[in-house]
Structure 1
Amino acid sequence: MPRGRPPSAAVDHAVRRAVFELLEEVGYRDVSVERVARRAGVGKAAIYRRWRSKADLVSAFVFDDLQPPPDQGSLRADLTVLAGDLVAFLTGPAVSRAILGLTADLRGDPALADRLIARHRRCLTVVLDRAVARGELAEPPDPAWAHAQLLGPAYAWLMLFDGAADPDLPARLAADLVNVLR
Protein backbone atom coordinates (compact mmCIF):
# COMPACT_ATOMS: atom_id res chain seq x y z
CA MET A 1 0.00 0.00 0.00
CA PRO A 2 1.44 3.41 -0.97
CA ARG A 3 2.38 5.68 1.91
CA GLY A 4 1.70 9.38 2.19
CA ARG A 5 -0.76 11.56 0.43
CA PRO A 6 -1.44 11.03 -3.27
CA PRO A 7 -0.13 13.77 -5.59
CA SER A 8 -2.46 16.74 -5.80
CA ALA A 9 -3.52 18.04 -9.20
CA ALA A 10 -4.09 21.44 -7.58
CA VAL A 11 -0.47 21.56 -6.43
CA ASP A 12 0.76 20.53 -9.88
CA HIS A 13 -1.39 23.22 -11.50
CA ALA A 14 -0.21 25.93 -9.09
CA VAL A 15 3.43 24.94 -9.60
CA ARG A 16 3.03 24.89 -13.38
CA ARG A 17 1.49 28.36 -13.35
CA ALA A 18 4.25 29.64 -11.07
CA VAL A 19 7.00 28.20 -13.30
CA PHE A 20 5.63 29.88 -16.41
CA GLU A 21 4.99 33.19 -14.67
CA LEU A 22 8.48 33.29 -13.21
CA LEU A 23 10.14 32.31 -16.48
CA GLU A 24 8.40 35.18 -18.23
CA GLU A 25 9.10 37.65 -15.41
CA VAL A 26 12.67 36.84 -14.38
CA GLY A 27 14.06 34.28 -16.82
CA TYR A 28 15.47 30.84 -16.14
CA ARG A 29 18.57 31.96 -14.25
CA ASP A 30 16.53 33.65 -11.51
CA VAL A 31 13.91 30.93 -11.17
CA SER A 32 14.48 28.84 -8.06
CA VAL A 33 12.56 26.08 -6.35
CA GLU A 34 12.07 28.43 -3.41
CA ARG A 35 10.58 31.16 -5.62
CA VAL A 36 8.32 28.65 -7.39
CA ALA A 37 7.12 27.26 -4.06
CA ARG A 38 6.42 30.73 -2.69
CA ARG A 39 4.55 31.78 -5.86
CA ALA A 40 2.57 28.54 -5.98
CA GLY A 41 1.72 28.67 -2.28
CA VAL A 42 3.23 25.26 -1.56
CA GLY A 43 6.15 24.00 0.48
CA LYS A 44 9.49 23.22 -1.17
CA ALA A 45 9.07 19.63 -0.04
CA ALA A 46 5.97 19.31 -2.26
CA ILE A 47 8.11 20.31 -5.23
CA TYR A 48 11.09 18.12 -4.35
CA ARG A 49 8.77 15.10 -3.97
CA ARG A 50 7.88 15.52 -7.64
CA TRP A 51 11.03 17.00 -9.24
CA ARG A 52 14.70 16.54 -8.35
CA SER A 53 16.01 19.95 -9.40
CA LYS A 54 15.15 23.28 -10.96
CA ALA A 55 16.09 21.91 -14.38
CA ASP A 56 13.84 18.87 -13.86
CA LEU A 57 10.99 21.10 -12.65
CA VAL A 58 11.21 23.60 -15.50
CA SER A 59 11.69 20.98 -18.19
CA ALA A 60 8.72 18.97 -16.94
CA PHE A 61 6.44 21.82 -17.89
CA VAL A 62 8.28 23.38 -20.79
CA PHE A 63 8.56 20.08 -22.69
CA ASP A 64 5.42 18.34 -21.48
CA ASP A 65 3.15 18.55 -24.52
CA LEU A 66 5.31 17.56 -27.49
CA GLN A 67 3.25 15.32 -29.78
CA PRO A 68 3.80 13.88 -33.28
CA PRO A 69 1.96 15.91 -35.91
CA PRO A 70 -1.04 14.39 -37.66
CA ASP A 71 -0.17 12.59 -40.89
CA GLN A 72 -0.03 15.19 -43.69
CA GLY A 73 0.48 12.64 -46.48
CA SER A 74 4.15 13.29 -47.30
CA LEU A 75 7.50 13.49 -45.56
CA ARG A 76 7.98 17.13 -46.51
CA ALA A 77 4.50 18.10 -45.28
CA ASP A 78 4.91 16.15 -42.02
CA LEU A 79 8.32 17.73 -41.42
CA THR A 80 6.93 21.19 -42.15
CA VAL A 81 4.30 20.74 -39.46
CA LEU A 82 6.87 19.29 -37.03
CA ALA A 83 9.29 22.14 -37.79
CA GLY A 84 6.45 24.64 -37.29
CA ASP A 85 5.73 23.11 -33.89
CA LEU A 86 9.45 23.30 -33.07
CA VAL A 87 9.70 26.97 -34.11
CA ALA A 88 6.56 27.83 -32.10
CA PHE A 89 7.97 25.94 -29.14
CA LEU A 90 11.38 27.64 -29.27
CA THR A 91 9.88 31.10 -29.65
CA GLY A 92 7.20 30.74 -26.97
CA PRO A 93 7.65 33.25 -24.14
CA ALA A 94 8.54 30.74 -21.43
CA VAL A 95 10.78 28.56 -23.58
CA SER A 96 12.66 31.46 -25.11
CA ARG A 97 13.40 32.73 -21.58
CA ALA A 98 14.44 29.27 -20.35
CA ILE A 99 16.13 27.39 -23.16
CA LEU A 100 19.68 28.74 -23.00
CA GLY A 101 20.01 28.38 -19.21
CA LEU A 102 18.21 25.05 -19.23
CA THR A 103 20.53 23.78 -21.97
CA ALA A 104 23.52 24.66 -19.82
CA ASP A 105 22.02 22.86 -16.80
CA LEU A 106 21.18 19.80 -18.88
CA ARG A 107 24.86 19.33 -19.66
CA GLY A 108 25.27 18.49 -15.96
CA ASP A 109 22.34 16.04 -15.93
CA PRO A 110 22.69 13.68 -18.92
CA ALA A 111 19.77 11.49 -17.81
CA LEU A 112 17.39 14.46 -17.79
CA ALA A 113 18.78 15.67 -21.12
CA ASP A 114 18.22 12.21 -22.63
CA ARG A 115 14.59 12.16 -21.42
CA LEU A 116 13.87 15.56 -22.91
CA ILE A 117 15.58 14.86 -26.20
CA ALA A 118 13.80 11.52 -26.40
CA ARG A 119 10.40 13.26 -26.29
CA HIS A 120 11.08 15.33 -29.38
CA ARG A 121 12.96 12.52 -31.11
CA ARG A 122 9.92 10.23 -30.71
CA CYS A 123 7.85 12.78 -32.62
CA LEU A 124 10.39 12.85 -35.44
CA THR A 125 10.67 9.06 -35.47
CA VAL A 126 6.91 8.78 -36.05
CA VAL A 127 7.27 11.09 -39.06
CA LEU A 128 10.26 9.16 -40.41
CA ASP A 129 8.50 5.81 -39.96
CA ARG A 130 5.51 7.15 -41.93
CA ALA A 131 7.85 8.17 -44.74
CA VAL A 132 9.36 4.68 -44.85
CA ALA A 133 5.87 3.11 -44.88
CA ARG A 134 4.87 5.40 -47.80
CA GLY A 135 8.04 4.49 -49.71
CA GLU A 136 9.50 8.01 -49.52
CA LEU A 137 12.57 6.72 -47.70
CA ALA A 138 14.16 3.36 -48.44
CA GLU A 139 15.02 2.72 -44.80
CA PRO A 140 14.66 4.54 -41.50
CA PRO A 141 17.46 7.05 -41.01
CA ASP A 142 19.33 7.33 -37.75
CA PRO A 143 16.81 9.26 -35.62
CA ALA A 144 19.55 11.00 -33.61
CA TRP A 145 21.22 12.32 -36.78
CA ALA A 146 17.91 13.38 -38.33
CA HIS A 147 16.94 15.09 -35.09
CA ALA A 148 20.21 17.00 -34.99
CA GLN A 149 19.66 18.07 -38.60
CA LEU A 150 16.28 19.58 -37.71
CA LEU A 151 16.87 20.90 -34.20
CA GLY A 152 20.39 22.21 -34.77
CA PRO A 153 19.58 24.75 -37.50
CA ALA A 154 16.33 25.82 -35.79
CA TYR A 155 18.05 26.29 -32.44
CA ALA A 156 21.04 28.10 -33.94
CA TRP A 157 18.90 30.38 -36.08
CA LEU A 158 16.41 31.33 -33.39
CA MET A 159 18.46 31.20 -30.19
CA LEU A 160 22.05 31.93 -31.14
CA PHE A 161 21.73 34.15 -34.20
CA ASP A 162 18.49 35.84 -33.10
CA GLY A 163 16.98 35.08 -36.50
CA ALA A 164 13.38 35.81 -37.28
CA ALA A 165 10.75 33.11 -37.02
CA ASP A 166 9.48 33.96 -40.51
CA PRO A 167 6.38 32.08 -41.68
CA ASP A 168 8.51 30.24 -44.26
CA LEU A 169 11.08 29.03 -41.72
CA PRO A 170 9.36 25.67 -41.02
CA ALA A 171 9.12 24.89 -44.74
CA ARG A 172 12.80 25.82 -45.23
CA LEU A 173 13.85 23.62 -42.30
CA ALA A 174 11.72 20.74 -43.64
CA ALA A 175 13.07 21.07 -47.19
CA ASP A 176 16.64 21.06 -45.90
CA LEU A 177 16.02 17.92 -43.83
CA VAL A 178 14.32 16.13 -46.74
CA ASN A 179 17.39 16.88 -48.88
CA VAL A 180 19.69 15.51 -46.15
CA LEU A 181 17.60 12.35 -45.73
CA ARG A 182 17.50 11.55 -49.45
Structure 2
Amino acid sequence: MDNKILQATRELIDEIGYPALTIDQVAARAGVGKAAIYRRYASKAETAFAATMHDQQLPPLADTGSLHGDLLALVRAFHSRMATPAAHQLAPALISEIAVNPGLDARFQDTFLAAEQAIFADIIEQAVARGELAGTVDPAMAHLLLLGSLASALYIINLPVDDAMITDLATAATAGITALADRHHSDVGRAVEPH
Protein backbone atom coordinates (compact mmCIF):
# COMPACT_ATOMS: atom_id res chain seq x y z
CA MET A 1 0.00 0.00 0.00
CA ASP A 2 2.85 2.42 0.79
CA ASN A 3 4.29 2.00 -2.67
CA LYS A 4 0.87 2.56 -4.29
CA ILE A 5 0.41 5.82 -2.36
CA LEU A 6 3.87 7.12 -3.20
CA GLN A 7 3.63 6.07 -6.85
CA ALA A 8 0.21 7.71 -7.23
CA THR A 9 1.58 10.89 -5.63
CA ARG A 10 4.57 10.98 -8.00
CA GLU A 11 2.37 10.40 -11.05
CA LEU A 12 -0.08 13.12 -10.07
CA ILE A 13 2.65 15.66 -9.35
CA ASP A 14 4.14 14.94 -12.78
CA GLU A 15 0.73 15.31 -14.43
CA ILE A 16 -0.85 18.26 -12.62
CA GLY A 17 1.86 19.76 -10.40
CA TYR A 18 2.09 19.98 -6.63
CA PRO A 19 -0.19 23.03 -6.13
CA ALA A 20 -3.15 21.24 -7.76
CA LEU A 21 -2.52 17.95 -5.97
CA THR A 22 -5.09 16.76 -3.41
CA ILE A 23 -5.12 13.81 -1.06
CA ASP A 24 -8.49 12.81 -2.57
CA GLN A 25 -6.77 12.44 -5.95
CA VAL A 26 -3.93 10.40 -4.45
CA ALA A 27 -6.40 8.11 -2.66
CA ALA A 28 -8.42 7.57 -5.84
CA ARG A 29 -5.34 6.89 -7.98
CA ALA A 30 -3.82 4.53 -5.39
CA GLY A 31 -7.14 2.76 -4.76
CA VAL A 32 -7.03 3.41 -1.01
CA GLY A 33 -9.03 5.47 1.46
CA LYS A 34 -7.87 8.91 2.58
CA ALA A 35 -7.54 7.55 6.13
CA ALA A 36 -4.88 5.11 4.94
CA ILE A 37 -2.83 8.03 3.65
CA TYR A 38 -3.30 10.14 6.78
CA ARG A 39 -2.24 7.21 8.98
CA ARG A 40 1.12 7.36 7.21
CA TYR A 41 1.54 11.06 6.46
CA ALA A 42 0.27 14.10 8.33
CA SER A 43 -0.37 16.29 5.28
CA LYS A 44 -0.27 16.68 1.51
CA ALA A 45 3.19 18.23 1.80
CA GLU A 46 4.57 15.34 3.82
CA THR A 47 3.07 12.80 1.40
CA ALA A 48 4.59 14.60 -1.56
CA PHE A 49 7.94 14.97 0.19
CA ALA A 50 8.08 11.26 0.94
CA ALA A 51 7.14 10.43 -2.65
CA THR A 52 9.43 12.80 -4.51
CA MET A 53 12.42 13.66 -2.38
CA HIS A 54 12.89 11.24 0.47
CA ASP A 55 11.32 8.12 -0.96
CA GLN A 56 11.18 4.93 1.09
CA GLN A 57 14.94 4.44 1.14
CA LEU A 58 17.72 6.92 1.70
CA PRO A 59 20.78 6.61 -0.50
CA PRO A 60 23.00 3.78 0.74
CA LEU A 61 26.08 4.89 2.62
CA ALA A 62 29.04 4.73 0.24
CA ASP A 63 32.30 3.95 2.02
CA THR A 64 34.68 5.51 -0.48
CA GLY A 65 37.65 5.42 1.89
CA SER A 66 37.71 9.17 2.59
CA LEU A 67 35.54 11.76 4.28
CA HIS A 68 35.49 13.91 1.15
CA GLY A 69 34.57 10.95 -1.04
CA ASP A 70 31.77 9.88 1.29
CA LEU A 71 30.33 13.41 1.44
CA LEU A 72 30.63 13.81 -2.33
CA ALA A 73 28.77 10.53 -2.95
CA LEU A 74 26.08 11.57 -0.49
CA VAL A 75 25.54 15.08 -1.88
CA ARG A 76 25.38 13.71 -5.44
CA ALA A 77 22.70 11.22 -4.38
CA PHE A 78 20.67 13.91 -2.63
CA HIS A 79 21.11 16.37 -5.51
CA SER A 80 19.48 13.90 -7.89
CA ARG A 81 16.39 13.92 -5.64
CA MET A 82 16.40 17.58 -4.67
CA ALA A 83 16.89 19.05 -8.16
CA THR A 84 13.77 17.55 -9.74
CA PRO A 85 10.94 19.84 -10.89
CA ALA A 86 8.65 18.25 -8.28
CA ALA A 87 11.13 19.05 -5.51
CA HIS A 88 11.32 22.68 -6.67
CA GLN A 89 7.53 22.93 -6.34
CA LEU A 90 7.41 21.08 -3.05
CA ALA A 91 10.26 22.46 -0.96
CA PRO A 92 8.81 25.98 -0.44
CA ALA A 93 5.38 24.53 0.37
CA LEU A 94 6.83 22.08 2.89
CA ILE A 95 8.94 24.78 4.57
CA SER A 96 5.87 27.00 4.80
CA GLU A 97 3.74 24.23 6.26
CA ILE A 98 6.38 23.21 8.82
CA ALA A 99 6.64 26.83 9.99
CA VAL A 100 2.97 26.92 11.06
CA ASN A 101 2.43 23.29 12.04
CA PRO A 102 4.41 22.22 15.14
CA GLY A 103 3.17 18.63 14.80
CA LEU A 104 4.45 18.36 11.25
CA ASP A 105 7.71 20.01 12.29
CA ALA A 106 8.23 17.44 15.06
CA ARG A 107 7.33 14.58 12.71
CA PHE A 108 9.69 15.88 10.04
CA GLN A 109 12.51 16.19 12.59
CA ASP A 110 11.89 12.74 14.07
CA THR A 111 11.61 10.89 10.78
CA PHE A 112 13.21 12.39 7.70
CA LEU A 113 15.85 14.59 9.31
CA ALA A 114 16.77 12.00 11.95
CA ALA A 115 17.35 9.42 9.20
CA GLU A 116 19.52 11.83 7.22
CA GLN A 117 21.52 12.78 10.30
CA ALA A 118 22.09 9.09 11.07
CA ILE A 119 23.87 8.83 7.71
CA PHE A 120 26.09 11.75 8.67
CA ALA A 121 26.80 10.13 12.04
CA ASP A 122 27.97 6.99 10.22
CA ILE A 123 30.16 8.98 7.82
CA ILE A 124 31.74 10.87 10.73
CA GLU A 125 32.28 7.66 12.69
CA GLN A 126 34.05 6.09 9.70
CA ALA A 127 36.23 9.18 9.25
CA VAL A 128 37.21 9.11 12.94
CA ALA A 129 38.00 5.39 12.68
CA ARG A 130 40.21 6.07 9.63
CA GLY A 131 42.04 8.81 11.53
CA GLU A 132 40.78 11.59 9.25
CA LEU A 133 38.98 13.43 12.04
CA ALA A 134 40.36 14.27 15.48
CA GLY A 135 37.01 13.43 17.03
CA THR A 136 33.30 13.38 16.44
CA VAL A 137 31.19 16.26 15.16
CA ASP A 138 27.49 16.85 15.73
CA PRO A 139 25.75 15.14 12.77
CA ALA A 140 23.21 17.97 12.68
CA MET A 141 26.02 20.44 12.01
CA ALA A 142 27.50 18.23 9.28
CA HIS A 143 24.01 17.90 7.77
CA LEU A 144 23.62 21.68 7.78
CA LEU A 145 27.02 22.27 6.21
CA LEU A 146 26.38 19.95 3.27
CA LEU A 147 22.68 19.44 2.60
CA GLY A 148 21.65 22.80 4.08
CA SER A 149 23.96 24.49 1.60
CA LEU A 150 22.59 22.40 -1.26
CA ALA A 151 18.98 23.19 -0.31
CA SER A 152 19.80 26.88 -0.06
CA ALA A 153 21.45 26.88 -3.49
CA LEU A 154 18.54 25.05 -5.10
CA TYR A 155 15.51 26.62 -3.41
CA ILE A 156 16.49 30.02 -2.04
CA ILE A 157 19.36 31.46 -4.08
CA ASN A 158 18.29 29.55 -7.22
CA LEU A 159 21.81 28.83 -8.39
CA PRO A 160 22.48 26.45 -11.27
CA VAL A 161 23.90 23.48 -9.38
CA ASP A 162 26.22 21.39 -11.53
CA ASP A 163 28.76 18.72 -10.61
CA ALA A 164 31.53 21.30 -10.13
CA MET A 165 29.41 23.09 -7.51
CA ILE A 166 28.48 19.77 -5.89
CA THR A 167 32.19 18.92 -5.64
CA ASP A 168 32.88 22.35 -4.13
CA LEU A 169 30.09 21.84 -1.58
CA ALA A 170 31.60 18.49 -0.56
CA THR A 171 35.06 20.08 -0.30
CA ALA A 172 33.76 22.97 1.82
CA ALA A 173 31.78 20.61 4.07
CA THR A 174 34.84 18.37 4.49
CA ALA A 175 36.94 21.38 5.53
CA GLY A 176 34.23 22.60 7.90
CA ILE A 177 33.69 19.23 9.55
CA THR A 178 37.46 18.74 9.90
CA ALA A 179 37.84 22.20 11.47
CA LEU A 180 35.00 21.52 13.91
CA ALA A 181 36.50 18.17 14.90
CA ASP A 182 39.90 19.82 15.45
CA ARG A 183 38.36 22.62 17.51
CA HIS A 184 36.29 20.27 19.66
CA HIS A 185 39.29 17.98 20.17
CA SER A 186 41.52 20.89 21.23
CA ASP A 187 38.75 22.26 23.52
CA VAL A 188 38.53 18.86 25.23
CA GLY A 189 42.31 18.73 25.54
CA ARG A 190 42.43 22.15 27.21
CA ALA A 191 39.59 21.21 29.56
CA VAL A 192 41.50 18.21 30.95
CA GLU A 193 44.92 19.88 31.23
CA PRO A 194 46.04 20.34 34.87
CA HIS A 195 46.12 23.96 36.09
Same fold? TM cut 0.5: yes
Selected match of 2:98 from 101, 106, 110: 106
Aligned to 1:169: 165
**Where has structure 1 moved over 4 Å in runs of 4 or more?**
none
Aligned to 1:76: 68
Aligned to 1:150: 146
Aligned to 2:182: none
Matched, 1:122 2:114: no
How large is the RMSD of aligned CA atoms in angstroms?
Answer: 1.8
| TM-score, with structure 2 as normaliser | 0.79
Residues 38-77 of structure 1 show CA distances to partners (whole Å, capped at 9, x for unaligned) of 2223322332343332233223333122134220000011
Higher relative contact order structure (alpha carbons within 8 Å, sequence separation ≥ 6): 1
CA distance in 1, matches of 2:11, 2:89: 11
Residues 150-172 of structure 1 show CA distances to partners (whole Å, capped at 9, x for unaligned) of 12211111112222221222211
Change (3 A) 1:153 1:51: closer
Q: How many residues align structurally?
A: 172
CA distance in 1, matches of 2:137, 2:60: 17
Q: In terms of Rg, which structure is larger? A: 2
CA distance in 2, matches of 1:22, 1:54: 12
**Residue ranges of structure 1 left out of the alignment (5+ in a row):** 1-10
Deviates more, 1:153-162 or 1:101-110: 101-110
CA distance in 1, matches of 2:3, 2:175: 42
Selected match of 1:13 from 3, 13, 19: 3
Say whether the 8 Å CA contact 1:69–1:123 is kept in structure 2: yes
Aligned to 1:85: 77
**Residue ranges of structure 2 left out of the alignment (5+ in a row):** 179-195
Aligned to 1:47: 37
Change (3 A) 1:146 1:12: closer
| TM-score, with structure 1 as normaliser | 0.84
